[in-house]
């Protein structure tokens, strides 16, 4: 249900409605390529900020047994920032960027703790499927609200509103309400099933232990060579995937595709993604997670290549459908693979490390997109540059031995238990 809850932020705020609002309203008066660049730079700033926070918080959560409390705090930050977008008017691109950064911190920071619960709540042999189910439910929930949001913009009179702009503001409030309401199940029911506090310390003591564990995580990650290789691959391909998600609508806007077509196409992505993500989980169980991930990345390389030549709304619709085939599946399988390569007793710490490293790396994709757009005064070169991340990740993934990595993680758990 938490995937159902916070996926509304991704669909409406990251992928569909907010980029258009940013381009048309918040960045009004800026050149098209400048609006795209500022949006991409906001993405980068958000990722860097989350990266600096996540590992420390992840280490503290492992020690204090407060994963759920940290998840709640970050969720509230994201919900509040989303609701405050009703204050953004024409030309307020700086305020919009600040609120978006705060919302992304709430969303991504919370997922550090949410993702780490996979090792606490799900047996290893079921993680591919359960992770896929989470993403699939997220697609369905995010897609349903996005469908309502599209009606708010296209038919504002149905909701007692007099303009599409007021409909857009109502979209922002609906995302905040949706995120809050459907977060309640995990906050009410997951606590008894999560690990309890390892040690009980003062706030300063937790901080000291947290920084100490953070240092050890950076130092000791070298003990898991297969995990290190997978991390490098993940940094690359995850950066490419996230940048496609966050920049697709803005890119479509800069090449002249209409707002309604952009949002409708991304709505189709959500509903295509729901069954395809479930099928991807099944496929990963049959052919192996690594092969399934390879397949999805190959499809992404094709999507980016064709995106460079896109000129019409029909092209955007077709590519959106193809993205729906692989987007959720690739993310779900990537998450479950990582959960196999980390020691269970240090799951939040290592997911925190994944967060800091992937968020730092994820700042490069939007930055490269924005920089290429600025240098060439065209967002087409920005989208083409993302091929480097996808292909580089595929190459690095070739060298990862998942069976060996799982054994390394299990041996570390046994050693920690004995100690």
CATH number of the structural domain spanning residue 14: 1.20.1250.20
pTM of the model: 0.73
Task: Give the three-state DSSP class for 200.
Answer: coil
On whether residue 86 sits in a domain, the answer given is yes
Contact between 39 and 22 under an 8 Å Cβ cutoff? The reply is yes
222 CB neighbour count, 10 Å cutoff: 9
Residue 106 lies in domain = 2-191+203-418
At residue 348, the pLDDT reads: 67
Cβ-in-10-Å burial (0-12, 13-18, 19+) of 193 comes to exposed
Q: What is d(CA 35, CA 185) in angstroms, rounded to the nearest whole number?
A: 38
On whether residue 379 sits in a domain, the answer given is yes
Q: What is d(CA 298, CA 329) in angstroms, rounded to the nearest whole number?
A: 13
On whether residue 197 sits in a domain, the answer given is no
Nearest alpha-carbon partner for 51 in 202, 245, 235 = 235
On whether residue 267 sits in a domain, the answer given is yes
Tokens representing residue 357 in the block: 């490293």
On whether residue 401 sits in a domain, the answer given is yes
Tokens 């070739």 label which residue? 398
At residue 199, the pLDDT reads: 65
On whether residue 113 sits in a domain, the answer given is yes
Contact between 251 and 22 under an 8 Å Cβ cutoff? The reply is no
Contact between 136 and 46 under an 8 Å Cβ cutoff? The reply is no
At residue 275, the pLDDT reads: 82
At residue 86, the pLDDT reads: 96
Q: What is d(CA 277, CA 325) in angstroms, rounded to the nearest whole number?
A: 7
On whether residue 198 sits in a domain, the answer given is no
As a dihedral over the C-alpha atoms of residue 236, residue 238, residue 240, residue 241, rounded to 10 degrees, the angle is 160
Q: What is d(CA 196, CA 198) in angstroms, rounded to the nearest whole number?
A: 6
Q: What is d(CA 344, CA 117) in angstroms, rounded to the nearest whole number?
A: 10
Helix axis angle for 289-308 and 259-287, nearest 10°, is 150
Nearest alpha-carbon partner for 14 in 59, 55, 46, 48 = 46
Number of domains, the chain: 1
Q: Is the dihedral of CA 359, 282, 386, 82 positive or negative?
A: negative
Cβ-in-10-Å burial (0-12, 13-18, 19+) of 342 comes to buried
Ordered per-residue pLDDT tens for the chain, 419 residues: 999 999 999 889 988 889 889 988 998 888 877 887 888 888 878 878 877 776 677 667 777 778 888 899 999 999 999 999 999 999 999 999 999 999 998 998 888 788 878 888 888 778 877 887 887 888 789 889 988 998 999 899 999 999 999 999 999 999 999 999 999 999 998 877 777 766 666 767 766 776 776 677 777 788 889 999 999 999 999 888 888 877 777 788 888 888 788 888 888 887 787 788 788 878 888 888 899 999 999 999 999 999 889 888 899 899 888 888 888 788 888 878 988 888 877 776 787 677 777 777 777 887 888 888 888 877 888 888 889 999 999 999 999 999 998 888 888 888 877 87
């Amino acid at each position: 249900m938490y995937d159902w809850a916070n996926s509304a932020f991704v669909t409406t705020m990251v992928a569909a409605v907010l980029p258009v609002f940013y381009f048309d309203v918040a960045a009004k008066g800026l050149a098209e390529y400048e609006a795209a660049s500022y949006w991409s730079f906001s993405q980068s700033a958000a990722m860097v900020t989350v990266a600096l926070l996540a590992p420390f918080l992840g280490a503290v959560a492992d020690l204090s047994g407060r994963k759920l409390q940290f998840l709640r705090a970050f969720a509230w930050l994201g919900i509040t920032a989303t609701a405050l977008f009703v204050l953004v008017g024409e030309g307020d691109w700086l305020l919009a960027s600040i609120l978006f950064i705060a919302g992304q911190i709430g969303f991504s920071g919370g997922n550090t703790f949410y993702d780490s619960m996979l090792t606490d709540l799900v047996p290893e042999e079921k993680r591919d499927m359960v992770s896929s189910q989470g993403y699939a439910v997220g697609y369905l929930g995010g897609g349903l609200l996005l469908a309502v949001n599209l009606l708010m913009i296209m038919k504002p009179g149905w909701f007692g509103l007099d303009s599409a702009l007021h409909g857009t503001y109502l979209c922002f409030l609906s995302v905040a309400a949706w995120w809050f309401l459907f977060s309640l199940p995990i906050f009410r029911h997951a606590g008894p099933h999560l690990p309890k506090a390892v040690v009980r310390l003062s706030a300063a003591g937790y901080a000291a232990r947290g920084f100490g564990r953070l240092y050890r995580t950076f130092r000791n990650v070298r003990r898991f060579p297969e995990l290190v290789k997978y991390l490098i691959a993940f940094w690359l391909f995850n950066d490419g995937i996230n940048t496609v998600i966050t920049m697709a609508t803005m890119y479509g806007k800069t090449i002249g595709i209409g707002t309604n077509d952009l949002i409708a196409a991304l709505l189709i992505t959500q509903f295509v993604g729901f069954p395809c993500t479930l099928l991807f989980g099944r496929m990963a169980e049959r052919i192996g997670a690594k092969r399934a991930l390879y397949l999805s990345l190959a499809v992404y390389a094709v999507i980016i290549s064709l995106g460079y030549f896109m000129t019409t709304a029909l092209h955007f619709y077709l590519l959106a459908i193809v993205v729906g085939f692989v987007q959720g599946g690739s993310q779900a399988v990537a998450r479950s693979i990582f959960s196999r390569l980390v020691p269970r007793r240090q799951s939040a710490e290592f997911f925190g490390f994944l967060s800091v490293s992937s968020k730092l790396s994820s700042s490069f994709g939007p930055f490269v997109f924005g920089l290429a757009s600025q240098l060439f005064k065209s967002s087409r070169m920005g989208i083409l540059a993302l091929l480097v991340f996808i292909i580089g990740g595929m190459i690095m993934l070739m060298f990862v031995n998942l069976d060996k990595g799982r054994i390394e993680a299990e041996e570390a758990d046994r050693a920690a238990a004995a100690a």
